[in-house]
Amino acid sequence: MAGAGGDTPQQGDGPGKAAPKATLLPEEPPQEQALRRSAEELRQEDRLSVCSKLCYAIGGAPNQVATSATAFFLQIYLLDIAHITPFHASLVLFIGKAWGAVTDPVAGFFISKSKWTKIGRLMPWMLGCTPFTIVSYFFMWYLPPFVAGRVVWYLTFYCLFQALTTLFQVPYSALTMFLSPDQKERDSATAYRMTVEVLGTLMGAALHGQIVASAHASDHCTVNLTINAADSSSSLSNASNLAEPLGLQSHGREVYMIAAGVIGGVYLFGIVILFIGVKERDDPYALNSDKAIPFFKGLRLTMKHGPYLKLTASFLLISTAVQLEQSNFVLFCTHAASLHNHFQYLVVTILVSAAVSIPFWQWFLQQFGKKSAACGISWMIPFAVMLVTIPNLVLAYVVAFVSGLSIAASLLLPWSMLPDVVDHFRLLNPHAKGPETIFYSSYVFFTKMSAGIGLGISAASLEFAGYKTGLCRQSSTVILTLKILIGAVPAILIVIGLSILLFYPITEKSRKETEFALELLRSHPSTDNLSENEEDTWI
């Protein structure tokens, strides 16, 4: 019986159930065993050290420091320190953001044409643009002695700063794909990056806010409480502007320049850490016979890629909502909620909450999926509406904390999901070498453009509402406009964005299948049976 069992496997019989186990093990083909061993070896090679992830994360922090300071304080600086009109401020903000958005695909085009060097293909761009970024950032906060050309001055340096940060951000964000081909390692590196970038955002808002807070907490507002924009005539309005001491403007100019100099030093520190601690890898999926995909062909395929379109459409609306919250929060606290003595602490609360919650969201998306984590973005909606309707100090801190949780999710998710989209595209187009910069540059383009439109409309709305620079109290129309910009508009944008995200097709199951297929491609690079896809397909 025992000897016969080795020749003829039993089916359905209890005594013969051990026989199939004995016969199944030797049936695994040697090629599959070799592939499994090769895949395991590749996984070991793809692991990133904690030090490497930290250095990568620190490298992107200066951009977030500067962007945070700009998002929270540039509008109020242009209005209350540079004393340009809200209409001109809206032009500066919109044209600057639009210019930065236009430079994204241009940067993506030139970066995609770059040759591999001893330090990589992306690293030279980041190293080269940093010194010029520091100079443009400093002069963006400099108050020129002339008055007539101030709008041109700030427009020039804001556009220059936006273009230079694009030349850094596009290769830096695409660098995620060249740290490791392992999805878990990339997600982990992204979580490190988002945590440090939120800390950078916190540092920018807190550091800049603490330095310049005295420029927006002057005593002349308590002296001239009788001046109200809603009731004052033009002579009283002029008197209010003249009542502001000349030394106050000089003090504001000095503290803003100090803050700009400090953040410029942060840029130098970040780029040194990035260069020393991060090793850029060549394209791990490219075959020797593959050629770089032409930029415009890649852009055409990108714009037809269903998962990418849904992801981009969703998060450009969500990021616009966050931008509106950031740019109008200080103005809202100052003029609509009587919280001008607390705005810097509320900003710090938002960003501390965001920073400490990034690890939680990273754990959440690993346990429950990336689409499920998007629910956290909606948390800010009811609390923002409560702050607008009940501007209470205690409630303001609660709103700040919850908003930080939502902002953390909105920051982590798109950069965690975008590599999955690129992987899916690579599987459909196995001979398309180098599509990463196209995806990342076009994504940054859309988010910047949407943010620029949102900020331009925001500043223009204040102009139409009658915002007057230098006044201690704004009109009821301005206050209502600020409430709409803080509460209603972001809520609508977030709801629409999350509704679009419901149709995002990449699930956890399909993501793992894509990862396994790409591992097979790396370990067994013969692609004779794969044909190049001229046209992309929608999931």
Residue 229, pLDDT > 70, answer: no
Both 302 and 192 in one domain: the answer is no
pLDDT for the residue 285: 54
With respect to residue 494, please indicate whether it lies within any of the assigned structural domains: yes
With respect to residue 24, please indicate whether it lies within any of the assigned structural domains: no
Task: Please tell me the distance from the alpha carbon of residue 69 to that of residue 161, in angstroms, as a whole number.
Answer: 13
Quick one: average pLDDT of 445-455? 75
Task: Please tell me the distance from the alpha carbon of residue 238 to that of residue 295, in angstroms, as a whole number.
Answer: 55
Q: Which of 232, 264, 282 marks a domain boundary?
A: 282
**Among 463, 461, 478, residue whose Cα is nearest residue 230:** 478
Q: Which of 282, 299, 327 marks a domain boundary?
A: 282
Both 157 and 297 in one domain: the answer is no
Question: Nearest 5 degrees, angle CA 439-CA 445-CA 448?
Answer: 140
* Residue 312, CA distances (Å) to 100, 105, 346, 441 in order: 17, 15, 30, 12
| Report for 145-154, 382-391, 526-535: range of highest mean pLDDT | 145-154
Cβ–Cβ < 8 Å for 104, 170 = yes
Q: The pTM is what? A: 0.64
Quick one: average pLDDT of 30-44? 55
Both 168 and 116 in one domain: the answer is yes
Tell me the pLDDT band of 153, cut-offs 50, 70 and 90: very high
Residue 414, pLDDT > 50, answer: yes
Residue 474, pLDDT > 60, answer: yes
| CATH of residue 84 | 1.20.1250.20
Cβ–Cβ < 8 Å for 495, 167 = no
Both 210 and 163 in one domain: the answer is yes
DSSP tag of 292: E
Question: One-letter amino acid identity for 417?
Answer: M
Structural tokens at position 441: 């540059």
pLDDT for the residue 38: 54
With respect to residue 537, please indicate whether it lies within any of the assigned structural domains: no
Quick one: average pLDDT of 188-215? 80
Q: What is the pLDDT of residues 479-504, one digit of tens each?
A: 888 888 888 888 899 999 999 988 88
Residue 470, pLDDT > 70, answer: no
Task: Please tell me the distance from the alpha carbon of residue 109 to that of residue 360, in angstroms, as a whole number.
Answer: 36
Residue 30, pLDDT > 70, answer: no
Both 341 and 489 in one domain: the answer is yes
pLDDT for the residue 525: 52
* Structural domain range at position 58: 48-217+251-282
With respect to residue 245, please indicate whether it lies within any of the assigned structural domains: no
Both 303 and 266 in one domain: the answer is no
Quick one: average pLDDT of 116-138? 88
With respect to residue 71, please indicate whether it lies within any of the assigned structural domains: yes
Both 197 and 302 in one domain: the answer is no
pLDDT for the residue 183: 74
Both 260 and 271 in one domain: the answer is yes
**Among 140, 92, 79, residue whose Cα is nearest residue 330:** 79
Task: Please tell me the distance from the alpha carbon of residue 153 to that of residue 143, in angstroms, as a whole number.
Answer: 9
With respect to residue 429, please indicate whether it lies within any of the assigned structural domains: yes
With respect to residue 362, please indicate whether it lies within any of the assigned structural domains: yes
Cβ–Cβ < 8 Å for 315, 413 = yes
With respect to residue 32, please indicate whether it lies within any of the assigned structural domains: no
CA contacts within 13 A on the Cβ side of 522: 24
Beta pairing partners, 117 = 120
Burial call 289-321: b when 16+ CB within 10 Å, e when fewer: ebeebebeebbebbeebbbbbbbbbbbbbbbbb
pLDDT for the residue 359: 86
Both 422 and 405 in one domain: the answer is yes
Q: What is the pLDDT of residues 342-381, one digit of tens each?
A: 777 887 788 788 888 888 888 888 888 888 888 888 888 8
Both 83 and 189 in one domain: the answer is yes
Residue 282, pLDDT > 60, answer: yes
Both 255 and 303 in one domain: the answer is no
Between 18 and 506, the more confident residue is 506
DSSP tag of 117: B
Contact residues for 5 (Cβ-Cβ < 8 A; gap 6+): 16, 19
Residue 137, pLDDT > 90, answer: yes
Split into its structural domains, the chain has a count of 2
Report the chain's mean pLDDT, rounded to a whole number: 76
Both 379 and 273 in one domain: the answer is no
pLDDT for the residue 408: 85
| Report for 120-129, 151-160, 247-256: range of highest mean pLDDT | 151-160
Q: Which of 243, 261, 282 marks a domain boundary?
A: 282
